Structure 1
Amino acid sequence: MDPNGVQQTDNSAPGEVSPGATRRMSRQQILTLISMASVNFSSMICYSILGPFFPNEAKKKGASQTVIGLIFGCYALCNLMGSLILGKYIVQIGAKFMLISGLFVSAGCTVLFGLLDKVPGTVNFIVLCFIIRSIDAVGFAAAMTSSFAITAKIFPNNIATVLGSLEIFTGLGLILGPPLGGLLYQSFGYEIPFIILGCFLSLMVPFNMYMLPNFDATPTKDSFVRLFTRPKIILICFVIFTLSSGLGFLDATLSIFATEKFGLAPGYVGLLLLGVSLPYCLSSPLLGVASDKFPAVRKWLMVVGGLAAAFGFCLLGPTPILHIQGQLWLLILMLTIIGFSLGMTGIPTFPEILICAYENGFEEGLSTLGLVSGLFGAVWSIGMFFGPTFGGFMTQTLNFEWAAAIEGGIGFIASFLLGAYFIFEGARRKRSSRVVGRESPEESSPLLG
């Protein structure tokens, strides 16, 4: 869209700025920003509402702890498949239609999930949980994949700044979901939290139908396979995996550890998670601005942030080999470091993958944006599945202290490899520039002169 809201085609390069362009956002950009913020907030609050009370309700229905874990885990797997498929065919489906359809599906699934306590029989309850949760994951993948692509399309010159600002609403959804869901559940029962949030999410459908423009684009022959053959993209995806894996690990293990180690009540355990989400929400906009204003620093933000997160996980327990006594203040401090480090590492990843794709011959347009968005969502989902599963197993086999250290070790390896790649890439470019500089005038002059 141009500053006046006129529809753009896919032929315009994302990095081009017209001579008369100003730095003020157009009306269409403001409306798009409001739309994407509403999508992030409403989707995340519906995603996080289950935590405080659904496991207990499922136990009453006869579901085992393993089955309850699989109900949560199937969401990540279906989100993975949905992100890959929808990211590939975003042009054929249409970015606006995909986002609105995803919101509609998620709204319906949220309401249906609130009616599951009326289902008779354990088997029927479990089967319907898997079906509704899986469909909801596909709807969520459609909304978030198209949201990333639309944001990058409308704001091509400051992607990290806008994504960082939108993470405030993502964090708010994750923060408000559990306490709001628990309060509504305690006051009105099982059905009301899902019905209220499902209706709220359904209101986003006509809102975004009015707000968002249509996007013309032509499909390309590029694929995820070609995108994933670049070493830089592979290493960045490894870092993204460690981010989501770490968050999933904390979701599955932190509450039990804090309760057993420090004797905290469930309400205070919930406040501990604010130590991760609040620093992330507050720092993301600033890190996004820094990432766009200083592109050369962007790659080192990922490396330093990943190393800091690894350090935080190693001292979260802390690691027994360090012989440091575990303290509540140390746990809170490390959670704060991890939350801030997640912003440092996560915000620059999307624009870095996108730039790498353009440098390697991918066409600039909605098709490539869909591929990058789908890849990001898929890798994030893999980490969200691996983190709770592997973390729960390691905690049960060893203990929380060693499991957190292993999680931090994985993050350290990813950040170290990415940093080594950047150093090697910089040295190679310096050697190439020196070879070009030593080229003799006779070699560089035209034959006919």
Structure 2
Amino acid sequence: MICLSVMIPFFPTEAAQKDPHPNSVEGLSAIGFVFSITAFMQFLTALVIGKILPHSGPKIIIILGGMLISGSIALFGFVNRIDDWPQFLGICYALRAVQGVGTAFELTASFALLFGIFPASISLVSGLFHGFNGLGFAIGPALSGSIYDQHGFLLPFIIYGGIMAASTAAVMVLLPGDIEIEADRKSKDIFMAALKLPVSALWLATALVAGAAGGLLEPGISPYLRDEFGISPSHVGLIYLLHSGVFIITAPLTGYIGDRYVKPKHLVIIGSFLHGGALVLLGPVKTAGVLSPALWRSTLSMAIVGGGLGVTQTCLVPGMLNALYKAGFTDSVELHGTAAGMITGFFSLGIGIGPLVGSALTGAVGFPDAAAMFALVLIANGFAFIAFSVYECIRAFVRKSGSCNTNADTPSETTPLIRDNQDSTGV
């Protein structure tokens, strides 16, 4: 994640300088798609990687992902030397697509591996996993913005590509090569079956919405903060550091609570409302005319966005697995990998849609109003989970009442025909 976030503080501004029609809707959308294409490739790759894992094992998938990411990140540092606008965009799209494939390899294989090792603490593992991802997003923009201010465009990508290559080499040496994932024949139709389940469709939609709202910030927040408040890329990176820092704290805490006290489907309601409410205040909404833009308020909103996203993202895979368990799927590592791949895929699809739609809306109505539109979708998603929870409570109550009446009047196949004295007296 540290490699994917390297370009957030400065790339939109650098790309706009090469655009023959800067600040146009077409130009902003083209720059937004540089961020989106990575997520789209993650979506396409993650949906099939769960089927490959049982045959290849997680280690080779993680290593291949690291190699793809490190090579494409390092090469991306040279794109600013291309002056022709169409060629510049084409090379950016190609390299970011490769990064998306590599990221899907790493995330899905890592999820399946960790869930297989720690099956009793899936929510906590999910929280810690997302927390370290958030740490990458925190370090990435903060350091890359500072390096860019001091040394220019190339060096941040070379440094981060080298870090990724070194971590891949460490995986090759330290991760055992005999880790296997057994295929489960019953889970081969998980994807299509899950799409037919209303509850799992709700979780996939939540992943899509949360990803889109998160992806909105990648191309939009840096130009907005710099134009509105005149701050430097390094300062933008520090605001992202706060945003990701809150995410880092929130994600594992949510995982701990989700494993012990509160169900993921209830926690995701809190996350959706926090995320949506913070986006409304991020600008704030200029058309409302209630609040004037303030750097402190935007900074605080970014922190709350990190907390809301941390709660929601941590709940996605555990919630999806719970839905599949209730639908009758057997617990297996391949089930974990497939569920993680589906959630990662739809979350990535959302991250791809977010910059694309967000850039178009920003060009049309401005970033604050664009953020408010995404906020409405998040809040609506929270109400959808409230409605589903109420529906489940009503259904459980009806079933319980019906089963009680049936047991009282009609003996089942397992009911003893002759009760002993203790039963007959009720003692």
Q: Is the 8 A contact 1:50 1:181 kept in 2?
A: yes
Matching of residue 239 in structure 1 with residue 206 in structure 2: yes
Distance 2:40 2:370 in 1: 23
- TM-superposition CA deviations, 1:54-95 (whole Å, max 9, x none): 455556667874543333222121111111121333223322
| SS of the residue 1:362 aligns to | coil
Distance 1:186 1:56 in 2: 13
Number of the residue aligned with 2:309: 342
Number of the residue aligned with 2:237: 270
Distance 1:400 1:342, change over 3 A: same
Matching of residue 97 in structure 1 with residue 60 in structure 2: yes
Q: Is the 8 A contact 2:181 2:334 kept in 1?
A: no
The Cα shift of 1:442 comes to: 4.7
Q: Equivalent residues in 2 for 1:39-438 (5 A)?
A: 44-55=1-12, 58=15, 65=27, 66-116=29-79, 124-213=87-176, 214-220=179-185, 221-294=188-261, 296-319=262-285, 323-328=289-294, 329-438=296-405
- TM-superposition CA deviations, 1:352-379 (whole Å, max 9, x none): 1012112212232122112111111111
Distance 1:49 1:412, change over 3 A: same
How many residue pairs match? The answer is 405
Q: Is the 8 A contact 2:15 2:31 kept in 1?
A: yes
For normalisation by structure 2, the TM-score amounts to 0.85
Letter in 1 for 2:284: P
Distance 2:20 2:334 in 1: 42
Distance 1:77 1:267, change over 3 A: same
Q: Is the 8 A contact 1:309 1:341 kept in 2?
A: yes
For normalisation by structure 1, the TM-score amounts to 0.82
Q: Is the 8 A contact 1:115 1:191 kept in 2?
A: yes
Matched residues, percent identical?
29
Q: Give unmatched runs, 5+ long, in structure 2.
A: 22-26, 419-427
The Cα shift of 1:119 comes to: 6.4
The Cα shift of 1:408 comes to: 1.0
Distance 1:415 1:316 in 2: 19
Q: Is the 8 A contact 1:92 1:219 kept in 2?
A: no
Letter in 2 for 1:196: I
Distance 1:239 1:185 in 2: 35
Within the candidate set 411, 420, 424, 1:443 is matched to: 411
- TM-superposition CA deviations, 1:13-67 (whole Å, max 9, x none): xxxxxxxxxxxxxxxxxxxxxxxxxxxxxxx111111234445555666787454
Q: Is the 8 A contact 1:88 1:223 kept in 2?
A: no
Q: Is the 8 A contact 1:164 1:285 kept in 2?
A: yes
Q: Give unmatched runs, 5+ long, in structure 1.
A: 1-43
Distance 1:257 1:118 in 2: 25
Q: Is the 8 A contact 2:268 2:311 kept in 1?
A: yes
Number of the residue aligned with 1:16: none
Distance 1:326 1:87, change over 3 A: farther
Distance 1:416 1:273, change over 3 A: same
The Cα shift of 1:125 comes to: 4.5
Q: Is the 8 A contact 1:88 1:374 kept in 2?
A: no
- TM-superposition CA deviations, 1:226-254 (whole Å, max 9, x none): 12221111112222222221122223323
Distance 1:266 1:106, change over 3 A: closer
Q: Is the 8 A contact 1:102 1:140 kept in 2?
A: yes
Distance 1:427 1:404, change over 3 A: same
Distance 1:425 1:397, change over 3 A: same
- TM-superposition CA deviations, 1:285-322 (whole Å, max 9, x none): 2211111112x443211112212222222233334575
- TM-superposition CA deviations, 1:351-410 (whole Å, max 9, x none): 110121122122321221121111111111121122222222222222333322211110
Distance 1:315 1:447, change over 3 A: same
Output the aligned Cα RMSD: 2.7
Distance 1:114 1:322 in 2: 41
Distance 1:268 1:187 in 2: 13
